Structure 1
Amino acid sequence: MPQPTGPLGEDVDPRPVAEQQKGRRWSLVGPGIVVAATGVGAGDLVATLVAGSRFGYALLWAVVVGVVVKIALAEATGRWHLATGSTIFTGWRSLGAWTSVYFVLYVLIWGFVYGATAMTSSALPLAALFPWLPLEAWAILSGLVGLVFVWFGNYRLFERAMTILIGVMFVVVVGLAVLVVPDLGATLSGLVPRLPEGSAIYTLGLVGGVGGTITMAAYGYWVNAKGWRDASWMTVMRLDNRVAYITTGVFVVAMLVVGADLLHRSGITLTEGDRGLLDLDEMLRDRFGQIVSTLFLVGFWATSFSSLLGVWQGVSLLFTDFVRTRREARGQLTEGPAQRSLPYRAYLLWLTFPPMVLVLVGQPFALVVAYGALGAFFMPFLAITLVWLLNSSRTPAPWRNGWLSNALLVAAAALFLVLCVNELAGLGG
């Protein structure tokens, strides 16, 4: 009897669902951890630190709102996969060919530039820890290690690695927040919504930016790879999603505490971009010593490399599904696991090798503009299409959006549209 497979040809557990879930729901948590670890990168750490350094604890409430928004988005993605038995890309194709045109343009340009960004971000802490190799060499090595790991590994190994990396991130950052001895009263006062002068865009960034990337659309694929393939897994998926984003919320709050207590009080400004974390490393070394500095760089690396691995694995699955649905529309059937397919490996190579040119020569301005413009549109695209799909007959009636899901997804769409307009205005300026 052949082994049962999921929507993308992945092997699944043949035992009855009730038997698989019995007494072990907490131990099943995993795909949410993967999407959360991928979504929080070094750039998000810098953004949170900058918000804390400028406004203290005043924007803490925005982190809480952001966690709720991300839970709603990821839950909607997972619910679509489980309720319909199809993938998010199948849903997008049902909305018209325009979704495929946008997607392929986005992943090709975004992947080219993001590959260089992810490799450089992973290399920064390694170059600081081991200066006997230049930054560019560490960047190329990071990309190659990510390629080999994802190329030959399976989902189970990938999930374990991501869990370890987010564990390192969590321990280091939360430990650092405890070390700076936060003002508990000021911290709690940050839960009261208010907008200090000049904080509007930072607030929107905290709500919409941290933990939110194209990999949120990959959550449903990781749910399927875990073996969750129908609505009987809905409760487990929702538990998984909430645990992951609450963990992310604690992580981001810890970074805000570090920014508020260590930077805000000192009046210190970080360098823009991922390199700002190297400024923080110098401060930590001066104040707490070499051991704390080294541990922070390890956490910095875990944050960056988990994002690299998550994109290499998750966005390659999205691209593979794009190719699969096109072939099926032409009557060409595809078989076998997605992770062993030609489209999957072709996109992995696209993420790894062409961006090495950008690592060595820098990022051409025109490409950065195109990347920023397309990237700004993806999260509104995801939120709007989820509202569309989950209120239509494409979704079985018991699993369509209720009023709370609709309210959160519409709010998310509005938030991301505002951030999109701001991003495009910045590019135009």
Structure 2
Amino acid sequence: MRDPQTERADIAPDGAQQPARKWRLVGPGIVVAATGVGAGDLVATLIAGSEYGYALLWAVVLGVVVKIALAEAVGRWHLATGSTIFAGWRSLGVWTSVYFAVYVAIWGFVYGATAMTSAALPLAALFPALPIWAWGIICGLVGLAFVWFGNYAVFEKAMTALIGVMFVIVVGLAVLVTPNLGEVVSGLVPRLPEGSAVYTLGLVGGVGGTITMAAYGYWVNAKGWRDASWMRVMRLDNRVAYLTTGVFVVAMLIVGAELLYASSIALESGDRGLLDLDEVLRDRFGPVVATLFLVGFFATSFSSLLGVWQGVSLLFADFVRNRRKAEGQLTGAVERSWPYRGYLLWLTFPPMALLFLGRPFALVVAYGAFGAFFMPFLAGTLLYLLNGRRTPREWRSGWLSNTLLTGAAALFVVLCVNELAGLIG
């Protein structure tokens, strides 16, 4: 890893840099964006395009804006206070630790199986000699080994490569289906087709991550950005990453609108819907395009797996560290600590038992409900922490950040209640 002091010397007091230098620093945002956009997000965006054409394009764009605000708030807390987000949660009372401990244990067990299955689906389609459960175990073990023996610098390069593959393939596919640019522009005008209200809220809230958004500050610190002098660089990094995500998900909506909407083709919900799209692409454009799409599907799913294995393990390690009332930010040594590696093992091995169940519907619904539980907590606590005395006055939230964080908190509360109602029903 480069010396942070050496890199900081290239930044003027006002945060100005040479353009080439500035772009070369971008990285943690790409990691959180690559982690956050999974196969489920692709299916949700595809279904939006297949059912409503371009009518909900504005919701996708709004979702990107919401996630930019959330990630910026996480990064700002880390840089402005010199502590971690978990230290902030600890300052709110013991209830936050209890909430996190219960949540991260259950969520990790369910997500581990979901991530391994999602990465296995395209591999099983490409190489059917092995069943999905076997590919899932292989993906989990490869992810474990990569994160166990690697470091942040290598991890960031791998994630950048994976999101590059995702981006090129999906944007290329959007160009291939020849979008109607006039209808694309018209989709930026907010409107709600009949019966789409709850679905639209889910689309806004689902672009680009859940618990992994809290890991952004840890990746910022791992990059060597550890104080407020890096604030402008962090904000550039965050915006570039989520604008890339925006282009990516808009491209998927275009594919849904042009390839599926006009033909009234319905996709299966969940990750398997992408296998339905594979068949459509094979019939329309031939096996080469379909194969490339499966490669992009795998890159999308495996990047999410790696990001969770690394990022949420950092969160858990900081949770254990804060139980001892530790102060300051994490160091690189945490990646060799037993809490970090212990949570890695928890994400990998116990969930393998669920792979043999074939991902029953109850598991998919449970994962959606557990994902919805965390975002109101994150948005609400950030809103409180970034307006409180622990944040230096110059870095407290302004009206725009407060408006977006308040809107995000309200949005995620509604989505959480909706998920709970669906789970109970």
**Structure 1 position 173, deviation (Å):** 0.4
Q: For 1:176-195, what aligned pairs fall within 5 Å after superposition?
A: 176-195=173-192
Q: Deviations over 1:221-276 (max 9, x none)?
A: 00000000000000000000000000000000000000111111010111111001
**Is 2:4 the partner of 1:13?**
yes
State the 1:202 CA deviation. 1.8
Bigger shift: residues 293-302 or 372-381: 372-381
**2:325 alignment partner, SS class:** helix
Measure, in 2, the Cα distance between the counterparts of 1:359 and 1:20: 49
> Conserved in 1, the CA contact under 8 Å of 2:67 and 2:207?
no
Query: Measured at CA, do residues 349 and 134 of structure 1 come closer, stay the same or move farther in structure 2, by a change above 3 Å?
Result: same
Q: Is residue 2:373 matched to residue 1:377? A: yes
**Which of 310, 314, 334 is 2:311 aligned to?**
314
Q: Distance in 2 between matches of 1:324 and 1:20?
A: 32
Q: Is the 8 A contact 2:222 2:332 kept in 1?
A: no
Does the C-alpha gap of structure 1 residues 273 and 365 become closer, same or farther in structure 2, counting only changes over 3 Å? closer
Letter in 2 for 1:17: R
Pair 1:351 & 2:366 matched: no
Q: Distance in 2 between matches of 1:373 and 1:271?
A: 19
Q: Name which of 155, 170, 173 aligns with 1:173.
A: 170
Whether the aligned pair in 2 keeps the contact of 1:166 and 1:303 (CA below 8 Å) is: yes
C-alpha separation in 2, matches of 1:107 and 1:120: 19
Give the Cα separation in 1 of the matches to 2:65 and 2:90.
Answer: 28
The one-letter code matched in structure 2 to 1:133 is L
User: Is 1:297–2:294 an aligned residue pair?
Assistant: yes
Match of 1:199 in 2: 196
Residues of 1 paired with 2:94 and 2:294: CA distance? 45
| Aligned pairs (5 A) from 1:124-203 | 124-203=121-200
Q: CA deviation at 1:125?
A: 0.3
- Deviation for aligned residue 1:371: 4.8
Match of 1:414 among 385, 401, 410: 410
Do the aligned residues in 2 keep the contact of 1:39 with 1:211 (CA within 8 Å)? yes
Contact 2:222 2:331 in 1 (8 A): no
1:212, distance to aligned residue in structure 2 (A) = 2.4
Cα 1:336–1:82 shift into 2, 3 Å? closer
Q: 1:275 aligns with which of 253, 272, 277?
A: 272
Post-superposition shift, 1:391? 0.2
Return the offset for 1:205.
1.3
Alignment of 1:382-401 (within 5 A): 382-401=378-397
Looking at structure 1, the residues matched to 118 and 260 of structure 2 have their Cα atoms a distance apart, in angstroms, of 22
Structure-2 separation of matches of 1:27 and 1:131: 40
Whole-angstrom CA distance in 1 between matches of 2:268 and 2:245: 24
Cα distance, 1:274–1:368 mapped onto 2, change above 3 Å: closer
Q: 1:268 to 1:189 in 2, by over 3 A?
A: same
Following the alignment from structure 1 to structure 2, what is the Cα–Cα distance between the partners of residues 17 and 250? 30
Task: Show structure 1 runs of 5+ residues with no match.
Answer: 1-9
Deviations 1:122-175 (A, max 9, x none): 000000111111111100000000000000011000000000000000000000
Which runs of structure 2 are paired with 1:16-95 in the superposition (5 Å)?
Answer: 17-19=8-10, 22-23=17-18, 24-95=21-92
Would you say 1:245 and 2:236 are equivalent positions?
no
User: C-alpha separation between the residues in 2 aligned to 1:258 and 1:235?
Assistant: 35
1:427 partnered with 2:423? yes
Cα distance, 1:63 vs structure 2? 1.1
Q: Which amino acid aligns with 2:339?
A: P
Q: Distance in 1 between matches of 2:60 and 2:232?
A: 25
Give the secondary-structure state (helix, strand or coil) at the position aligned to 2:6. coil
Q: Give the conservation status (yes or no) of the 8 Å contact 1:113–1:363.
A: no
Q: Any idea what SS the aligned residue of 2:209 has?
A: coil
Tell whether 2:106 aligns with 1:120.
Answer: no
Alignment partner, residue 6 of structure 1? none
Against the structure 1 CA distance between its residues 16 and 184, is the aligned structure 2 distance closer, same or farther, given a 3 Å change threshold? closer
Q: Indicate yes or no: 2:104 matched with 1:107.
A: yes
CA deviation profile, 1:267-324 (whole Å, cap 9, x unmatched) = 0111111001000000100110010000000000000000000000000000000000
Amino acid at match of 2:265: I
Verify the 8 A CA contact 1:109 1:370 in the aligned structure 2.
Answer: no
**Match of residue 5 from structure 1:** none
The one-letter code matched in structure 2 to 1:85 is: G
1:12 Cα deviation from its structure 2 partner: 5.3
Q: Is the 8 A contact 2:383 2:406 kept in 1?
A: yes
Shift of 1:17: 1.7
Question: One-letter code of the match for 2:352?
Answer: M
Instruction: Give the Cα–Cα distance (whole angstroms) in 1 for the partners of residues 420 and 82 of structure 2.
Output: 36
CA distance in 2, matches of 1:367, 1:47: 18
Aligned to 1:285: 282
Alignment partners' CA distance in 2, 1:106 and 1:368: 17
TM-score (norm 2): 0.95
**Partner-residue secondary structure (3-state), 2:179:** coil
Distance 1:79 1:185, change over 3 A: same
Cα deviation, residue 361, structure 1: 2.9
Q: Compare 126-135 and 218-227 and name the one that shifted more.
A: 126-135
Query: One-letter code of the match for 1:286?
Result: D
Partner Cα distance (1:69, 1:121) in 2: 26
Shift of 1:210: 1.5
Distance 1:271 1:362 in 2: 15
| CA spacing shift, 1:201–1:129, aligned 2, 3 Å | same
Give the distance between the partners of 2:178 and 2:10, measured in 1 at CA: 46
